[in-house]
Amino acid sequence: MKSENEPGTDLSLRRFIKSLGYIAGGTAILSMAPWLVSCTQEKLSEIRGGQARIAVIGTGSRGQYHIHNLLQIPHARIVALCDDYAPNLDAASALVPAARRYADYRKLLEEDDIDGVVIATPLNWHARMVLDGLSAGKHVFCEKAMARTMDECKAIYQAYTHSDRVLYFCMQRMYDEKYIKGMQLVHNGLIGDVVGMRCHWFRNADWRRPVPSPELERRINWRLYRESSGGLMTELASHQLEVCNWAVGRMPLSVAGMGDIVYWKDGREVYDSVNVIYRYSDGVKINYESLISNRFNGMEDQILGNSGTMDLTKGLYYLENDNSLSGIQQLLAQIKEKAFEAIPAAGPSWRSETKKEYPPHSIVEGRVYVNPGQSTVGVDKDGSDVILSSFCQACITGEKARDVVEEAYCATLLCLLANQAMEEGRTVIFPEEYRIPYMKF
């Protein structure tokens, strides 16, 4: 077995696998996050130096983000690129000159030397491309959300259950170390009973991209129009709603909310401000808010328990009855006693407090990568590289990741139901026809 310093080693995946022993306390974590079975040392050894032949469909900013990650994965080789917008395809080709170019994804799917496809296209293309990819016998990795409509989501789920192909959706928080460890702590009762969840995502940007010619407006700025986008819910909330369901192990029964175009009155059709409440059968609620004309509050995923709060975005937790000294108090005490040689750069005792009466504790040891939520493309160390590496591994072994498709289905349905509730101005009950055996209410 290669060491971490040898060429050809996927450092992000190996370090993640190595950390599982710490964050899991052995293998107990696999019952809480069964999709991580494919990330064990034993599973990684099964690929035995093989390479998955990968094609990228959709080579815009997010597609190029995936290309950069794929180039760091030794068990992946990019063999083809596809985009019907030449400037994006040219930019991607500059990154992978040896890859074949396609303007029609259906021609790409006809090729026999492609094991898996990575789809990073506008949302309204997800369903047809995923279904065509599975039908062509390819393993498929698709960006979130799952699809633009609930019927499309159901069609994908049904196709997947009857397919022997691997299917992943980029729900990267499921592969983010601080989220995994935080969920383990939640499930082990550290913060007591979960009594509520608060998630928000704030930015201050119009979400627009430059358009070289007017006829390209809806094509390039697809996120702004209802025919191609679910707006803030599918683009942002899908990640956060998956986290909430993960925390409590079930689905909310109903959703109500309000959405408006408050500030960016530029012809867009999707809301730039949403406030949504989901209600579970026991009365626990998710309060979700997103706004893209003020970034002060950034992004947070908070699980609230009667004994504490898990702030997963920052990798911190707070306890309701905490007698420990805060980081600042400990630092002042050590200065007074002259009992230190150097101030640590990171660690559980030295994080800045957000609330004076609640000393923060780190979910994981060492440096924590905090996503401020401002990037519209992606950030480092948020789990995207690990889930993509896991998919490439699955293209070689053929092993399906447990629950990834189901979690993406559940989160996407909740986003689409919230949009329905806001548009119709009423409380929407989760419809029977879209329930799947995986769901618990």
390-423: pLDDT as tens digits:
999 999 999 999 999 999 999 999 999 999 999 9
Q: How much of the chain is in helix, strand and coil states, percent to nearest 5?
A: 40, 20, 45
- At residue 157, the pLDDT reads 98
The pTM (predicted TM-score) of the whole model is 0.88
- At residue 21, the pLDDT reads 55
User: If pLDDT is split at 50, 70 and 90, which confidence band does 45 have?
Assistant: confident
Beta bridge partners of 197: 286, 303
The half-sphere exposure of 92 on its side-chain side, counting CA atoms within 13 A, is 33
User: If pLDDT is split at 50, 70 and 90, which confidence band does 27 have?
Assistant: low
Q: Are the C-beta atoms of 263 and 272 separated by less than 8 Å?
A: yes
User: If pLDDT is split at 50, 70 and 90, which confidence band does 43 have?
Assistant: confident
Please determine, for residue 291, whether its predicted confidence score (pLDDT) is greater than 80: yes
% of the chain exceeding 90 in pLDDT: 76
Please determine, for residue 9, whether its predicted confidence score (pLDDT) is greater than 60: no
- At residue 14, the pLDDT reads 56
User: If pLDDT is split at 50, 70 and 90, which confidence band does 54 have?
Assistant: very high
- At residue 370, the pLDDT reads 80
Q: Which helix (H) or strand (E) holds 269?
A: none
User: If pLDDT is split at 50, 70 and 90, which confidence band does 349 have?
Assistant: very low
Please determine, for residue 211, whether its predicted confidence score (pLDDT) is greater than 70: yes
Q: Could you give the domains of the chain?
A: 11-174+384-401 (3.40.50.720), 190-379+405-434 (3.30.360.10)
- At residue 348, the pLDDT reads 39
Other beta carbons within 10 angstroms of residue 240's beta carbon come to 26
Mean pLDDT (the chain, rounded):
88
* Lowest-pLDDT choice from 310-319, 324-333, 344-353, 354-363: 344-353
Q: In what order do the strands lie in the sheet with 76-82?
A: 100-102, 76-82, 52-57, 116-119, 139-142, 167-169
Q: Are the C-beta atoms of 173 and 262 separated by less than 8 Å?
A: no
- At residue 326, the pLDDT reads 54
Please determine, for residue 249, whether its predicted confidence score (pLDDT) is greater than 80: yes
CA–centroid distance for 182 within its chain: 15
Most confident among 9-13, 185-189, 343-347 (mean pLDDT): 185-189
d(CA 280, CA 251) in angstroms, rounded, equals: 7
Please determine, for residue 334, whether its predicted confidence score (pLDDT) is greater than 70: no
At 89, the amino acid letter reads L
d(CA 280, CA 125) in angstroms, rounded, equals: 31
Q: In what order do the strands lie in the sheet with 273-279?
A: 361-362, 316-319, 308-311, 299-305, 194-202, 285-291, 273-279, 254-260, 428-429
User: If pLDDT is split at 50, 70 and 90, which confidence band does 20 have?
Assistant: low
Q: Are the C-beta atoms of 222 and 124 separated by less than 8 Å?
A: yes
* Lowest-pLDDT choice from 10-24, 224-238, 298-312: 10-24
d(CA 112, CA 6) in angstroms, rounded, equals: 32
- At residue 2, the pLDDT reads 39
